[in-house]
Chains A and B, each alone.
Chain A
């Protein structure tokens, strides 16, 4: 069976759909609204990148923001990623809160020097006197049959760099709240938007980041649970750990597995750095089995990090080694092979099967 992300229409996450303040919107709309509000709330915020002014970005995430907030706050830069990120450093030094955009994940590479050697280190280098409150928005991952370099999974690369934080939303609700949260942090955050999910609608509770709690309780101001993972579906038999676009796919898998009596828990990691180790321990402590699912290549991917964190907290109770279902160690293939590369439902089900059938030798 071959499964594409565009078929993944199931709407995960259901924060009190009936509650007032809950609206159906796509992730693109949720991100756009978040940016609009950030600009309105924080006069020091500036949004810039290639084509994000008049055009509103190739994915329309910044649509209408220049018209509303002016060319000083939302502007087009020349086409140069290192320039965009290097400029962010100086703006942050001058007291601004830059929200730069790299148009596609693969084009973050030309800016790696500025991201890794400059943005990530400036707070340290300056002994805390030059914080870098930069939120770098990166349309990320595959699934849209884009040309080469327009679909990459850079999370392990960024998460490995001291001084950077990395987050990826999987729902419109989280996209809205995580972006607003990230943009108010004093440290650099790489915000990885799953581009295959931009047009999927879902409920967004704009008044309440954490359904069931008040938005502005002390915890939320300290980050609250917006800083951690989210249980996207509760289950008893096995935990699927995923982030970004893979969360929706894992929820599909969970539905299918349920037909065979397998009760799957889906943990949406959200933060790829820092990883919510406690949530992993809680979930796998309960299910005693885990599969990590990611689009990035297997070798040295974040799956290894997650598996180690699980091993550390759940070694004595684990029923089987943690499995990984991932992309392969190949350059991201072109559209026709994409479905072979991105973990599909069958491969994830096989992963679950391997864990369930594991016997100690």
Chain B
């Protein structure tokens, strides 16, 4: 993979991460890696019907999610942001309930978690982030106090018209939005070079007058720092920022995908570059931030967590059918109420 770091236009003077923070980042990445690979196994075991793995994207997700201030920011994810959710401290059973097919969008509270419902339409919520961010402007927060919206999408999604409308809107209205692109090299079977014209997604930002940067998406600290400075830029009232995190989706697009039809294992190995987890671990060892005992403990915690999440989703059970009717509207229509009544009567007599 080639990464061309574009110099960050945005500077902030925040202190470098402390050792406890670096260890926390590693713990998060280890938890995400284990939960992610386990979720694929759950699908094979029939525990969940499907899942969109993020193997190889842990640094991009954890690094960016870690920069979010849950007291004032808001994140607009796609279907592949499990690592962001985990870094932001979401209830992971609630998160995974989407993949369990319990409820579209997940069972967590978006307002409390500051994490919008899981979005299956690619680029579907990029404009929502702009609207939410414009709300921050309208609320008249003092510079430096503003909440920031961060919207995640892929290189494939960047082909959607909504992304272009969103960037233009945000730039015109100077909305505090971070457009966080995870360029994982592929949109299902189509590689970035057959997807993105203009060199890169970040390059497009120039056309909208939006500062942008490409960051090594496999370096968790680099991603965190880029996101943090983008947040600082937005918070100060300077408008949006585009971050393109260059990473690689190892393995399939989803549990229904067969990547063998569009790339060989050898190509995958060569293109993927160094595993972001191994790389971070190496760095922490070299810098004396963590030792083998720490990594062993991180792994143990990750396994413990996965077991709890697995048990949690097993316990979910199906939702009561009445919710299908009662959650459509705040004020249900008479027709819907009578459909619910008929459904209740007929299903009780099966």
Contact = CB atoms under 8 A, between A and B. Distances in A.
A21 interface: no
Interface in A111-143: 113-114, 117-118, 121-131
A91 B169 CA distance: 13
Contacts of A123: 327-330
A277 B334 contact: yes
Contact of A90 (B127, B168, B327, B333): B127
A125 B136 CA distance: 23
Interface string B91-113: 00000000000011101011100
Contacts of A87: 127-128, 130-131, 134, 169
Interface residues of B, number: 45
A118 to B, nearest CB: 6
Contact of B127 (A89, A94, A130): A89
A309 to B, nearest CB: 9
Interface SS of chain B: helix
Nearest to A72: B138
- Among A82, A127, A165, A277, max chain B CB count under 10 A is at A127
Given A90-B132, A90-B134, A273-B333, A83 B166 contact: yes
Nearest to A223: B331
A93 B132 contact: yes
Given A94-B135, A118-B128, A165-B333, A86 B110 contact: no
A130 B166 CA distance: 21
Interface residues of A, number: 46
B134 A91 contact: yes
Given A89-B127, A130-B117, A185 B331 contact: yes
Contacts of A162: 328
A20 interface: no
- Among B128, B130, B331, B335, max chain A CB count under 10 A is at B128
Interface in B150-177: 161-162, 165-166, 168-169, 172
Contacts of A72: 138
10 contacts: A78-B165, A83-B169, A87-B134, A93-B128, A94-B74, A125-B104, A126-B117, A127-B323, A165-B329, A186-B330
What are the 4 A-B residue pairs with the smallest beta carbon separation, nearest first?
Answer: A90-B131, A86-B127, A94-B135, A125-B105
Interface of B: 74, 76, 103-105, 107, 109-111, 116-117, 121, 124-136, 138-139, 149, 161-162, 165-166, 168-169, 172, 323, 327-331, 333-336
